[in-house]
Amino acid sequence: MLGKYGVFPPTDPEFEDPPKLDKYDVIVVGGGGGGYHGAFQLSAGGYRVLMVDDKGNLGGNCLYEGCIPSKSVFYMVYLAERLRRLAKRSAGAAEVKAIWEEAVDHKDEVQYLRYLQHIREIKEHGNVDFVKGVARVLDGRRVEVTAVDGSWRKTVEGSRLLLATGSVAVRLPIPGAELAIGSEELFGYRTKRRTLPREVVVIGGGYIGVEVASAMASAGAKVTVVEMLPRIMSGWDSSIVSMIEGALKGRGVEILTNSRVTAIREESGQKVVEFQRPDGSKGTVAGEEVVMAVGRKPYVEGLEALGIVEKGRVVADSSMSTKAPGVYAAGDVLGKYMLYHAAVKESTVAAWNIMMGRPVYEVNFNAIPLTLFTEPEAAMVGISEDEARARGIPYVAVQYPLEDDSYAQIVGVREGWVKLIVERESQRIIGGSVYGEAASMIINEIALAVAVNARVRDLALLAHAHPTIFESIDRAAVRFSL
């Protein structure tokens, strides 16, 4: 629910005042990645902007409970695991428990640091009026803004609207759903849950569930993943999924696929998850804690009247324009690429097109990378091998094993590979995937190659600094031959 948080982020007293003006050039609804990047671009372009967010700060769910805090925890857990592996020693139960608690403290510090940074950034953009409040869109021009505590209410008008209302976590409509926790309880700002459960059941085998399962298992918990589909990580390259499954099982994670959760109940001090298989057979699995990670859905409440919502999401074209005149949208509310870095580019493109007065710029959705922050990491961009085969695209896949990479050897994470998908006739890079050390970083260079239609020889001839993990890209590229 908007305006309802266990702990609000730090804010500035002036952000709690009503909007200063009655009319603005642009009203931005939402201060996450889909909102504030565009607002800052518009401010730099001389536009007077009102930005409204119920948290009283920037970053949206990504900073409050998602990308930033979760990766802060994961990084510390995996770093500790890696150091133990390099030193060839094991950790006792007390040490492992302390690592998780220290990681939660670390993520609080990172969140606080970034919230203070965002307050400074807002003040640096003088054309932006930022208001802590709940926005209700009345029509294509008017927005009603209400204080979080209900102490004031004001209706303002904007020549343009940029809708960046984000998304909310999905909760299964099953008995006992309230017994499960989610990202907010695990990683929310100043969360009260600071210790690692001994046994955890994760409902959902998508990227959020898999990341949580991997980190908790690395920190010493006994983890079971329950997924309703035949395989975890639906939509990912099958070769990557196989590696991820192996890594999880190597950490003792049990994976139950084709298992649809039907209920959660408490019994003998534990939480019991009930599930049913396609053949009608039933089963249960119990744990000290249950994490529900079955995805997120666009937050479209109040937007239906604009005629831009279809199948539970706002529809916009690649220029970020909706069919409502003067109304743009960006971020998770589109239900397309529900990723912070995608939202940032969508927001920027929306702002640029508002300033141009017509659709000039477009988001290249084919070049948006997907990342998985497990240990090792995984990432992919563009067209996968599975997709190329399904679409009948003549291609060549070239692959370099990271076990031969000097940097991977130095840091002790030799599993995995870098793979490039090359269109046979044009020799363009049309996709790529990485499983291994720093996959989330390597994939960005491959994404750039996809975005600019680079040919495989362009990467083969690019000299990467030695010894860095990025050498694996040109080592893969030089293996191409017709």
Assign residue 336 the CATH number of its domain: 3.50.50.60
- Provide the strand spans (E) within 56-198: 128-132, 134-137, 142-146, 153-163, 167-169
Report residue 136 as tokens: 């209700």
Residue 5 three-state SS = coil
- List the one residue out of 345, 450, 344 whose CA is nearest residue 387: 450
- What pLDDT score does 87 carry? 80
Count the domains in the chain: 3
Same-domain check for residues 305 and 164: yes
Same-domain check for residues 188 and 243: yes
- Which one of 335, 363, 391 terminates a domain? 363
**Are the C-beta atoms of 440 and 377 separated by less than 8 Å?**
yes
Distance CA 389, CA 42 (A): 43
Domain housing 424: 367-477
Same-domain check for residues 230 and 272: yes
The helix-helix angle for 340-356 and 36-44 (nearest 10°) equals: 30
Residue 392 placed within a domain: yes
Omega within 30 of 0 (cis) for the link into 173: no
Same-domain check for residues 325 and 454: no
The predicted model scores a pTM of 0.94
- What pLDDT score does 98 carry? 84
Residue 222 placed within a domain: yes
Residue 336 placed within a domain: yes
- List the one residue out of 174, 170, 171 whose CA is nearest residue 263: 174
- Which one of 313, 330, 363 terminates a domain? 363
Same-domain check for residues 415 and 301: no
Distance CA 81, CA 135 (A): 44
Tell me the pLDDT of the chain (482 aa) as tens digits: 577 898 999 999 999 999 999 999 999 999 999 999 999 999 999 999 999 999 999 999 999 999 999 999 999 999 988 888 888 777 665 676 689 999 999 999 999 999 999 999 999 999 999 999 999 999 999 999 999 999 999 999 999 999 999 999 999 999 999 999 999 999 999 999 999 999 999 999 999 999 999 999 999 999 999 999 999 999 999 999 999 999 999 999 999 999 999 999 999 999 999 999 999 999 999 999 999 999 999 999 999 999 999 999 999 999 999 999 999 999 999 999 999 999 999 999 999 999 999 999 999 999 999 999 999 999 999 999 999 999 999 999 999 999 999 999 999 889 999 999 999 999 999 999 999 999 999 999 999 999 999 999 999 999 999 999 999 999 999 999 86
Same-domain check for residues 118 and 217: no
What burial class does residue 22 get, using C-beta atoms within 10 Å of its C-beta: 0-12 exposed, 13-18 middle, 19+ buried?
Answer: exposed
Distance CA 477, CA 397 (A): 10
Same-domain check for residues 178 and 261: yes
**Are the C-beta atoms of 140 and 326 separated by less than 8 Å?**
yes
Residue 81 placed within a domain: no
Residue 119 placed within a domain: yes
Distance CA 47, CA 96 (A): 52
For residues 443, 211, 55 and 136, what is the CA-based torsion angle, rounded to 10 degrees?
80
Residue 145 placed within a domain: yes
**Are the C-beta atoms of 365 and 383 separated by less than 8 Å?**
no
Same-domain check for residues 280 and 390: no
Same-domain check for residues 270 and 345: no
- List the one residue out of 152, 203, 211, 163 whose CA is nearest residue 187: 211
**Are the C-beta atoms of 380 and 240 separated by less than 8 Å?**
yes
- What pLDDT score does 245 carry? 97
Same-domain check for residues 283 and 343: no
Same-domain check for residues 282 and 194: yes
Residue 72 placed within a domain: no
CB within 8 Å of 127: residues ≥ 6 apart: 42, 43, 44, 46, 47, 48, 49
- What pLDDT score does 335 carry? 96
Residue 180 three-state SS = coil
Same-domain check for residues 403 and 467: yes
Assign residue 403 the CATH number of its domain: 3.30.390.30
Residue 4 placed within a domain: no
- Which one of 235, 259, 294 terminates a domain? 294
